[in-house]
Amino acid sequence: MSKIIFDCGISLDGYFAGDNRSPQNPMGGVSPKIHGWMFKQKVFWKNINVENDSAEDGEDGKIIDAVFARTGAYIMGKRMFEEGEVHWQEDLYKTDVFVLTHEKREPWIQKGTTTFYFVNDGIESALTQAKKSAKGKDIRIQGGANIIQQYLQAGLVDEFTIHIAPVFLRSGIRLFESISNEIYDVEIVNITPSELTTHLTYKLSRKQS
Amino acid sequence: MSKIIFDCGISLDGYFAGDNRSPQNPMGGVSPKIHGWMFKQKVFWKNINVENDSAEDGEDGKIIDAVFARTGAYIMGKRMFEEGEVHWQEDLYKTDVFVLTHEKREPWIQKGTTTFYFVNDGIESALTQAKKSAKGKDIRIQGGANIIQQYLQAGLVDEFTIHIAPVFLRSGIRLFESISNEIYDVEIVNITPSELTTHLTYKLSRKQS
């Protein structure tokens, strides 16, 4: 059965992205600080269809590959979509991607296997559509932080991985903001140390009321 | 040479303590959630002079013991002192403890080897006094979060360990709030997974300007 997951890099002080985010300044410019470990890995570039011979085949790459492989559909917010739209390679996601938005827009069918669907009727509807599309693989809530928070608050997330980079960002948007302490029991599933980040995976179970 | 360190438990969402902190409600009541892993360890109770036969001798205990052993003096804020004062066992710290405060007060010399000194002239003065007292052992900035932030912002911290408990707290006081991203280069020193928390140690070096 599909799990609902998210998987993202954050800073030591918990920031998912910086200030002044826009298509001209995706993630507020902090991506190299948070995702530096990822950019070093060949498998990351391969998965987004970019050749990068200077990248390496390291242990971190296996972690990147595993999350690409398990994901059968993505859900993201309109802002993240707009920040990425002008930068992403064609067929980056290789699955259906459900974009939460108030605008109406026809699906954007890319060459290959990526199609963006624009969902106007809320996070549960996007999830239902994503589940259908994922055919038993996992649904990854891609972001931004606000969308991840909405799914967390709705009690819908099964598992997540955070990659904590050894850096302070000081301001921006935090991944975990106002997350209720009454929804989930949280269990540590796996911790994998690495040179440039620390990978931490947690399982969420709805609290028995 | 003495290192300036801090070592504390936080939640997944980065909280060091909860709301409504007072001597009647130390840490806002969240200590069992953040420090549950610690309370299970015999060595924790031994170090604070409490017998607890139901506690265990686990790997987490070695980590607790190591930080007690390396610490030659503590620095803490007046609020943390006041929250703890009525609860702590006599001779809990077994070193000199420098309490940052605006009040003037004579040293409180406890039976054993703990003496509380009340420092009125700022964090650098407390550090100078603590260094003298620690005789080459490390200085631990005990808390609260605001005091740790002051030492971080002053560029004075050499190393720290956080223990991330798998729990959301939703509100309270965060350990890392408004920490400048321009002071330190941060390096991962050690990651130790455990069942109830994750131990992460980082080294801080002043950025070369």
Determine the number of helices (DSSP H) and then strands (DSSP E) in chain A: 6, 11
Percent of chain B's residues with pLDDT above 70: 100
Residue B9 is assigned to a structural domain of this protein: no
Residue in B with minimal Cα distance to A199: B191
Mean pLDDT for B134-148 is 97
Residues in chain B with CB shorter than 8 Å from the CB of A198 are 188, 191, 198, 200
Judged on CB neighbours under 10 Å (0-12, 13-18, 19+), A50 is exposed
Judge: B176–A186 Cβ closer than 8 Å, yes or no.
no
Mean model confidence pLDDT for chain A: 96
The alpha carbon of residue A145 is apart from the nearest alpha carbon of chain B, in Å, by 13
Closest residue in chain A to residue B195, using alpha carbons only: A188
User: Contact A168/B188, CB-based, under 8 Å?
Assistant: no
Measured between beta carbons, the chain A residues lying within 8 angstroms of B200 are 164, 198
Domain tally for chain A? 1
Other beta carbons less than 10 A from residue B77's beta carbon: 21
What pLDDT is recorded for position B198? 98
Confidence category of residue B48, pLDDT binned at 50, 70, 90: confident
Q: Which helix (H) or strand (E) holds B60?
A: helix B59-70
Q: Is the pLDDT of residue A50 over 90?
A: no
Q: Which of B166, B171, B202 sits opposite A188 (nearest CB)?
A: B166
Instruction: Answer yes or no: do A179 and B167 touch at CB < 8 A.
Output: no
At residue A80, φ and ψ (nearest 5 deg) are: -65, -40
Q: Is a pLDDT exceeding 80 seen at residue B209?
A: no
A24, exposed or middle or buried, with CB in 10 Å at 0-12, 13-18, 19+?
exposed
A37: domain CATH number is: 3.40.430.10
Please name every residue paired with A173 in a beta bridge, in sequence order, or none if there are none. A17
What does the pLDDT read at residue A51? 87
For B:156-195, CB contacts with A below 8 A are 164, 166-171, 174, 176-181, 184, 186-188, 190-191, 193-195
Put residue A91 in one of left, alpha, beta given phi > 0 → left and psi -120 to 50 → alpha: left
Q: Which residue from B minimizes the CA distance to A33?
A: B181
Complex ipTM, two decimals? 0.96
Average pLDDT of the residues in B145-163: 98
In a domain, B6, yes or no: no
What value does the mean pLDDT take over residues A129-137? 98
Query: Residue B69 — pLDDT band, cuts 50, 70, 90?
Result: very high
Q: Is residue B96 part of a domain?
A: yes
DSSP character for B125?
H
State how far residue B102 is from chain A, nearest Cα, in angstroms: 28
- Tell me if chain B has a CB within 8 Å of the CB of A59: no
Average pLDDT in the A12-24 region?
97
Q: Does A205 touch chain B (CB under 8 A)?
A: no
Of the candidate ranges A30-34, A88-92, A200-204, B169-173, the one whose mean pLDDT is the lowest: A88-92
pLDDT of residue B49: 85
Residue B209 is assigned to a structural domain of this protein = no
Q: Over 80: is that where the pLDDT of B184 sits?
A: yes
Is A22's Cβ below 8 Å from some Cβ in B? Answer: no
> Which 8-state DSSP code applies to residue A56?
B
Both tokens of A50, joined, read 């970019």
Residues of chain B with Cβ-Cβ distance to A181 below 8 Å are 167-170
Q: Would you state the pLDDT for residue B208?
A: 85
Q: Report the gap between the CA of B162 and the closest CA in chain A (Å).
A: 10
pLDDT of A121 strictly over 90? yes
| CB contacts < 8 A (A, B) | 81
With a CB cutoff of 8 Å and minimum separation 6, the contacts of A35 are A9, A165
| Of the partner residues B169, B176, B188, the one whose CB lies closest to the CB of residue A13 | B176
pLDDT at A78 over 90: yes
pLDDT band at A32 (very low <50, low <70, confident <90, very high): very high
- Paired with B41 in beta bridges are B56
Residues A174/B15, Cβ–Cβ less than 8 Å: no
Query: What pLDDT does residue A177 have?
Result: 97
pTM equals: 0.96
Chain-centroid distance, C-alpha A87: 16
**Nearest CA among A205, A171, A144 for reference residue A8:** A144
Query: Quick check: A191 and B191 CB within 8 A?
Result: yes
pLDDT category of residue A19 using cuts at 50, 70 and 90:
very high
Look up the domain containing B20 and give its range: 15-199
Q: For residue B50, is pLDDT > 90?
A: no
Contact A168 B186 (CB under 8 A): yes
Chain A residues near residue B14 by CB distance under 8 angstroms: 13-14, 174, 176
Asked if the Cβ–Cβ distance from A166 to B187 is below 8 Å, we say: yes
**What average pLDDT does range A50-78 have in this prediction?**
95
